[in-house]
């Protein structure tokens, strides 16, 4: 891939963005390429592509298992960069991973080598769940040098000065964590979402909400609440897991991913229409 | 963050955003109650350590070892602390702090089960509900401690991912905390994790070296030439070293688990040892920048040690820093030497040590000339929990020190 639109363009259209997540290399390299491309066909506007780390402390069981499958199948940072070059999609790809992999890459200590390589293969930005704003200066500096975005996660517990600090460092979009806890599909949408969105109402970056979103109705609800985008991970990884367990053909799993992606994108669009009708912005 | 949370390049706060407010709240509570003794917190802590814990623990002259190694060998008997290990110092401090902070639930991870046991005891003592995360491998090799935790009323949650040891248990406890952070305090079991944990856990354990120092002055009229302690995550190590940090004449020796080999299998992601200080590289794990056992990509290795309590791929950031500055000397001995140390202390001194502790005695045996004329060895815990492992592991090896269990065959199992 190359010359994909940036995050500003992806979020700049007059409709809510759908941002799916998959772990690269789950359950193997070839199948995973097909799955990521299926998400793009299903209407993804941005894709968060996970680079598996052995100690994913922010992930629930679904994504932990995906990471184990991908690592067992041989995924490494270098394979990941090849993956990004091989996958044929025309939406921005954001690298979601943990700081140690970014820190260790290349010969020099610190994040610069990783960010340089990421820019080289066409990645657009980063989400790093174990890197709070306090420790982010070196990565922010490297991102600025190579023109990449650094997305921060706003949690339901984030308030006051911490919000200000993040607001200064964030670019691309802000990841609004819909509920406390780890990643994982749920059957409802948390009220914490509305409160979190209200706290950052005046931020200029687009606001994408994730954690626990599973269905089109959830996506609609989130967009009605004011989100500019909807992030969905575990509900999609569940499809990969089921397909892998039951030895389903890769094409069949890809079709199901595409269908679910479409449902989620449609849900987001429906939410936007309902919001407009209700006289919102 | 204030620079006090860093030890040179090490330390910091690499945790999910959801936990950061709790870390800030904890930092505030640590500074107020622990550092400034607000509401008499430290007085209550010390009082409870005395009455419930049995402090101070003795500094004992080891007659046989001293004779054998031609040095004055003293033992700091943390194995005599309530629960049978140094772990209570920290567990009691943190559970009490959680109470002062108004939290109403305690969670903790455990490897060997010593920290889980100490936390369960402290939680029962202070009437707090408590849940312990423990890897499935460790649950099976440390059964007595699982019984003890359950008897004290704690829930024990098995962690089945990965190899099912301490590393996975810490990750899983952090996930629980990220969900329940508003009501729950995470009693981390070593000098690891995000700031302020490494400082705070060190402070709760530094009573060990404080007593060592006083007892040495009183008994010997001088400080020892060296202090020797085993090191996994490093809590007993820093506890034994902290108050000697400025005493340059006292050498501080951290004995790590050399496991079966110091070589690393990159292909399998396995380091058959836990010698992080001796062989690890700088990286970020479980909230802190520190020395780690990792592959060239930065994936964390599966560590190994015959002792569950040392079986961890990371180490406290302060200890990593003290090794870099040359203040602490990292050494290691392998599984065989630890097992021999275990048997030797049991037979020569009548003290059955924890397998973790046994590493320190393995080192003393191999390097009697490296500890000076007067040494203090921290007996971090007792070995009741390890009996099953030791008997099995001993049978599989050809050790210099051994023990014959054929009495069971002679008795024929008839009741």
Residue B1's pLDDT band (cuts 50, 70, 90): very low
Catalytic position from the list A59, A82, A145, A263: A59
Put simply, whether B266 touches A (Cβ < 8 Å) is no
Which 3-state string (H, E, C) describes chain B?
CCHHHEECCEEEEECCHHHHHHHHHHHHHHHHHHHCCHHHHHHHHHHHHHHCCCCCCCEEECHHHHHHHCCEEEEECHHHCCCCECCHHHHHHHHHHHHHCCCCEEEEEECCCHHHHHHHHHHHHCCCCEEEEEEHHHHHHCHHHHHHHHHCCCEEEEECCCCCCHHHHHHHHHHHHHHHCCCEEECCCCCCCCCCHHHHHHHHHCHHHHHHHHHHHHHHCCCCCEEEEECCCCHHHHHHHHHHCCCCCCEEEEEEEEECCCCCECCCCECCCCCHHHHCEEEEECEEEEEECECCCCCECECCCCCHHHCCCCCCHHHHHHHHCCCEEEEEEEHHHHHHHHHHHHHHHCCCECHHHHHHHHHHHHCHHHCCCEEEEECCEECHHHHHHHHHHHHCCCCCCCCCCCHHHHHCCCC
- Domain count within chain A: 1
Give the separation between CA B121 and CA B104, rounded to whole angstroms: 16
Average pLDDT on B326-353 reads 97
B157 in contact with chain A, both atoms CB, cutoff 8 A:
no
- Is it the case that residue A108 has pLDDT exceeding 90? no
Q: What is the CATH number of domain B59-83+206-395?
A: 3.40.50.1100
Would the CB atoms of B20 and A155 count as touching at under 8 Å?
yes
- For A132, the closest of B17, B178, B284 (CB atoms) is B17
Reply yes or no on whether the pLDDT at B3 is more than 60: no
User: Among all residues of B, which ones are annotated catalytic?
Assistant: 87, 109, 380
Chain A hits for B298, Cβ within 8 Å: 53, 77, 100-101, 103-105
Domain membership flag for residue A186: yes
Rounded mean pLDDT of B164-171?
86
Contact A157 B15 (CB under 8 A): no
8 Å CB contact of A101 and B20: no
Select from B14, B180, B269 the Cβ nearest to the Cβ of A135. B14
* More confident position, B333 or B270: B333
* Model pLDDT, residue B172: 92
- The alpha carbon of residue B398 is apart from the nearest alpha carbon of chain A, in Å, by 36
Confidence of residue B414 (pLDDT cuts 50, 70, 90): low
Class of domain B3-52+87-201: alpha beta
Please report residues of A whose CB lies closer than 8 A to that of B5: none
Q: Do the chains contact at B298 and A156, CB–CB below 8 Å?
A: no
- Does residue B231 or residue A4 have the better pLDDT? B231
Range of the domain at A69: 15-274
Q: Cα distance from B323 to chain A (closest Cα, Å)?
A: 19
Please tell me the predicted confidence (pLDDT) of residue B28. Answer: 96
Point out the residue among B167, B179, B182 whose CB comes nearest to the CB of A182.
Answer: B179
| A77 to B161: CB separation less than 8 angstroms, yes or no | no
Across the interface, whether the CB atoms of B174 and A57 are under 8 A apart is answered yes
Q: What is the mean pLDDT of residues A155-182?
A: 91
| Chain A touched by B58 (CB under 8 Å) | no
Candidates A152, A159, A180; nearest CB to B178: A180
**Is residue A8 assigned to a domain?**
no
Which residues 171-190 of B are in CB contact (within 8 Å) with A? Answer: 171, 174-175, 178-182
**Which pLDDT belongs to residue B415?**
53
pLDDT score recorded for residue B365: 98
The closest CB to that of A55, out of B171, B282, B296, belongs to B171
Residue A171 forms part of a structural domain: yes
Residue A23, pLDDT above cutoff 70: yes
Domain parsing of chain B, residue ranges: 3-52+87-201, 59-83+206-395
The Cα B229–Cα B238 span in angstroms is: 9
Is residue A38 included in any domain, yes or no?
Answer: yes
Predicted confidence (pLDDT) at residue B162 exceeds the cutoff of 80: no
* Nearest residue of chain A to residue B19 (CA atoms): A157
Supply the pLDDT for residue B166: 84
Judged against a pLDDT cut of 80, whether residue A1 lies above it is answered with no
pLDDT of residue A109: 78
Question: Two tokens at A205?
Answer: 């970056």
Check pLDDT > 70 for residue A2.
no
In chain B, the residue whose alpha carbon lies closest to the alpha carbon of A127 is B16
Q: Which among B290, B287, B289, B201 is positioned nearest to B18, based on CA atoms? A: B287
Determine, yes or no, domain membership for A280: no
CATH number at A31 reads 3.20.20.70
Q: How far off is chain B from A272, nearest CA to CA, in Å?
A: 28
CB–CB contact B297 A104 (8 Å): yes
User: What are the pLDDT digits (tens) for A29-58?
Assistant: 999 999 999 999 999 999 999 999 999 999
Equal CATH topology for B3-52+87-201 and B59-83+206-395: yes
pLDDT of residue A280: 54
**Nearest neighbour of B17 by CB, restricted to A60, A68, A158:** A158
> Has residue A135 been placed in a domain?
yes
Residue B64 binned pLDDT confidence (cut-offs 50, 70, 90): very high
Within 8 A of B283 by CB-CB distance, chain A residues are 100, 103-104
Q: What is the pLDDT of residue B413?
A: 61
Asked whether residue B304 carries a pLDDT value surpassing 90, the answer given is no
How close B16 gets to chain A, by Cα (Å)?
5
The answer to whether the CB of B314 falls within 8 A of the CB of B10 is no
Q: Residues A91-119: what's their mean pLDDT?
A: 95
Task: With beta carbons under 8 A apart, name residues in chain A contacting B297.
Answer: 76-78, 101, 104-105
With cut-offs at 50, 70 and 90, classify the pLDDT of residue B4. low
Please report residues of A whose CB lies closer than 8 A to that of B28. Answer: none
Q: Is residue A244 part of a domain?
A: yes
% of chain B residues with pLDDT over 90: 81
The residue in chain A having the minimum alpha-carbon distance to the alpha carbon of residue B6 is A135
Indicate whether A221 belongs to any domain. yes
> Comparing C-alpha atoms, which of B272, B273, B277 is closest to residue B237?
B277
Amino acid B2: pLDDT:
43
pLDDT in tens, A198-226: 999 999 999 999 988 999 999 999 999 99
Q: How high does pLDDT run on average in chain B? A: 94
Q: Which residue of B has its CA nearest to A133?
A: B17
A190: pLDDT strictly greater than 90: no
pLDDT, tens digit (0-9, with 9 covering 90-100), for A128-143: 999 999 999 999 999 9
Residues B67-109: pLDDT tens digits?
999 999 999 999 999 999 999 999 999 999 999 999 999 999 9
Residue A145 among the catalytic residues? no
pLDDT of B186 strictly over 50: yes
């Amino acid at each position: 891939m190359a010359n994909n639109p940036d995050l500003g363009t992806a979020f700049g259209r007059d409709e809510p963005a759908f941002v799916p997540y998959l772990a690269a290399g789950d359950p193997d390299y070839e199948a995973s390429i097909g799955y990521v491309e299926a998400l793009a066909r299903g209407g993804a506007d941005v894709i968060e592509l996970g680079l598996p780390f052995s100690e994913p402390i922010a992930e629930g069981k679904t994504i932990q298992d995906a990471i184990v499958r991908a690592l067992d199948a041989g995924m490494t940072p270098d394979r990941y960069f090849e993956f990004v070059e091989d996958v044929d999609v025309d939406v921005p790809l954001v690298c979601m991973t943990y700081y140690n992999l970014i820190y260790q890459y290349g010969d020099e200590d610190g994040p610069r080598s990783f960010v340089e390589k990421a820019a080289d293969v066409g990645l657009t930005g980063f989400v790093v769940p174990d890197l709070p704003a306090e420790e982010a200066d070196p990565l922010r500096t490297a991102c600025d040098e190579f023109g990449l975005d650094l997305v921060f996660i706003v949690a339901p517990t984030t308030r006051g000065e911490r919000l200000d600090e993040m607001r200064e460092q964030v670019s691309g979009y802000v990841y609004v964590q819909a509920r406390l806890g780890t990643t994982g599909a749920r059957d409802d949408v948390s009220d914490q979402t509305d409160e979190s969105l209200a706290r950052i109402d005046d931020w200029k970056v687009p606001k994408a909400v994730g954690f626990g979103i599973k269905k089109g109705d959830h996506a609609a609800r989130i967009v009605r609440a004011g989100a500019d985008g909807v992030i969905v991970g575990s509900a999609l990884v569940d499809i990969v897991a089921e397909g892998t367990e039951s030895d389903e053909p890769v094409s069949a799993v890809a079709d199901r991913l595409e269908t679910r992606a479409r449902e989620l994108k449609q849900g987001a669009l429906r939410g936007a229409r309902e919001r407009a009708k209700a006289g919102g912005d | 963050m204030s620079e006090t949370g860093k030890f040179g390049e090490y330390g910091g706060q690499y945790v999910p955003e959801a936990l950061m407010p709790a870390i800030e709240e904890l930092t505030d509570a640590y500074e107020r109650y622990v550092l400034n003794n607000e509401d008499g917190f430290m007085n209550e802590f010390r009082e409870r350590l005395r009455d419930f814990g049995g402090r101070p623990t003795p500094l004992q002259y080891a007659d046989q070892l001293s004779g054998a190694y031609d040095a004055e060998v003293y033992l700091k008997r943390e194995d005599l602390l309530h629960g049978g290990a140094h772990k209570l110092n920290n567990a009691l401090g943190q559970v009490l702090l959680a109470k002062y902070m108004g939290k109403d639930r305690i969670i903790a991870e455990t490897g060997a089960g010593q920290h889980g046991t100490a936390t369960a005891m402290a939680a029962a003592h202070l009437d707090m509900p408590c849940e312990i995360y423990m890897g499935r491998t460790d649950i099976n090799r440390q059964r007595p401690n699982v019984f003890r935790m359950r008897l004290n009323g704690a829930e024990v949650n098995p962690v089945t991912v990965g190899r099912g040891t301490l590393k996975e248990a810490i990750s899983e406890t952090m996930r629980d905390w990220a969900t329940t952070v508003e009501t729950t305090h995470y009693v981390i079991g070593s000098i690891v994790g995000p700031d302020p944990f490494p400082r705070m856990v060190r402070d709760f354990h530094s009573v060990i070296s404080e007593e060592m120092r006083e007892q040495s002055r009183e008994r010997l009229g001088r400080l020892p030439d060296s202090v020797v302690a085993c090191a996994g995550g490093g809590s007993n190590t820093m506890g034994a070293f902290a108050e000697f940090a400025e005493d340059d004449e006292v050498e501080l020796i951290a004995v790590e688990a050399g496991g079966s080999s110091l070589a690393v299998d990159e292909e399998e992601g396995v380091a058959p040892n836990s010698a992080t200080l001796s062989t690890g590289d700088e990286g970020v794990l479980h909230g802190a920048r520190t020395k780690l056992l990792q592959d060239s990509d930065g994936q964390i290795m599966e560590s190994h040690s015959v002792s569950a309590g040392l079986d961890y791929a990371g180490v406290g950031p302060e200890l990593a820093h003290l090794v870099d500055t040359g203040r602490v000397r990292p050494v290691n001995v392998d599984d065989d030497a630890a097992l021999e140390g275990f048997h030797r202390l049991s037979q020569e001194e009548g003290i059955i040590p924890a397998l973790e502790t046994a590493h320190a005695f393995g080192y003393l045996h191999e390097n009697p000339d490296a500890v000076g004329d007067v040494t203090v060895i921290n007996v971090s815990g007792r070995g009741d929990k390890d009996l099953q492992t030791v008997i099995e592991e001993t049978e599989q090896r050809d050790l210099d020190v051994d023990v014959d269990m054929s009495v069971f065959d002679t008795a024929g199992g008839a009741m």
